[in-house]
Structure formats: structure tokens, C-alpha cells
Structure 1
């Protein structure tokens, strides 16, 4: 018996919204050499799109994301995902409907930038003495 998140992800793949379908058509062929997954479970959440190589999570926000308690739930979700090393990218459904190809290109560009970042620049400071040049 699969975890509840896996079952829900499978159901969501079968019932994707039009913006999700349009975006998936652009991301499914491994653009830029990056493989994207759709409706991918991460912890107790399900990302609309995810690239395991660079770890960006793409969330398609439709009109429902602006009503009732949804905005505060989205903030809590984003905080949890960011604390666990994921980069959340929220994209409006209207933007995808307007130009899915451009949105996909920006997603691929962000994922490629995350993949090629310099770990030394974001890592801890050097230990005492490591930053001293010993030239004679």
C-alpha cells in the first residue's frame, strides 16, 4: 500500500489543470538536460513540478491560492520546503496561459543557475589561518 502522498500525487497527475498541462508539455522533454517530474511528493506536500538534480519546486498558483486560509498555508508550506533545502518558485496560472514556453524557459534557467552555483560562496567561512596567503 503506497503512502497517502503517493496515492494523491497519482490522482493529481490524472486531473491536472490546463495551466499545469501546458507547462508539463514544455518541461517533459528534459529541457536543458534537466529532468522534471510532475506532481511529485516531498514530505507531506506535493510539488506541481520538481527537478531532483537542482531541487527547485514549481507551484502553479490559480485563483484558489488567494482565498480563505490558502495564502497562510502557502507561506507555511514554502517555509517548510525552504528550510529543507528546496527553492520554491510560484507561478501564476494566468502567466502560463499567456506564454507557457517563456515560463518554462525561466524555470529551466533558474534550475540551471541553482545547479551551477558555487558551493564555496555559500558555505561556511574559512577556518582560522586558511584565508592567509603564504607567498614568499
Structure 2
């Protein structure tokens, strides 16, 4: 996968300045999973909030700005491009992190298990 070198500095800055919701999801769940996630990963022209390379799974947390029409269009295009790269994207709102943290974690866990099982059931 290719990414612009200019995103490297931005991704490092974002890792140093995670939102409260990103810190909560990272420190209280993702960093403890057996599947290794990385934070603020440049992929193509985007920066993924959390990315598990082995499962090709991106987990994105959306703040209020993601409800603006321009941002919705941008997010749809981004999801399409990432999908073409073979990356599955899960999106959650910051509100979901506050109000249903365990539900968010369970959904991520379910998707990871689904991915690891693969398209065919075990014999």
C-alpha cells in the first residue's frame, strides 16, 4: 500500500494527540487484543484511526464533523477506496464509545473472529 510521505508527520502528531474516545478504545480494549492494532496509520492518502494489518481491518471513530454533507461524501469515497485495497472498515461514533463501549468492543471482536474464520467453515 502506498501513502504520501507528508502523512507521516501528521499521523505521528495524531498519535500524540488522540481524542478522549480514541484513548479509551485504545487503552481499554484494542491494545490488549491478540490481533495487533496500530494507531493512526497512513494508507494511500488517508490516515486510519486504528488498523490491524493481519486482518486488514480499520476501526474509525467519528466525531460530529462526520455528519456534515461534505464529510459524508468524503467518508463514502474513502470507504470505497479502502475496500478496493482489501481493507474492511468499521465506523463508530464518539457517542457510541460513551454510551455503549462494551457493545462497540463486542462488535469489533465479532468481526475479528469472522475474518479469522475465513469464508469457509472449518471441517
TM-score band w.r.t. shorter chain = 0.7 to 0.9
Bigger radius of gyration among the two: 1
Partner Cα distance (2:9, 2:55) in 1: 25
1:40–1:50 CA contact under 8 A, matched in 2: yes
Q: TM-score, normalised by structure 2?
A: 0.86
- Once superposed, what is the RMSD of the aligned Cα atoms? 1.8
Report Cα offsets for 1:58-101 as digits up to 9, x if no partner.
Answer: 11011010124111000110000011101011111101112323
Q: Where do 5+ consecutive residues of structure 2 fail to align?
A: none
**Bigger Cα displacement from structure 2, 56-65 vs 100-109:** 100-109
Can you give the 5+ residue segments of structure 1 that lack an aligned partner in the other structure? 121-136
Matched with 2:102 is 101
Structure-1-length-normalised TM-score: 0.79
Match of 1:24 in 2: 26
Partner of 1:80 in structure 2?
81
* Aligned residues between the structures: 117
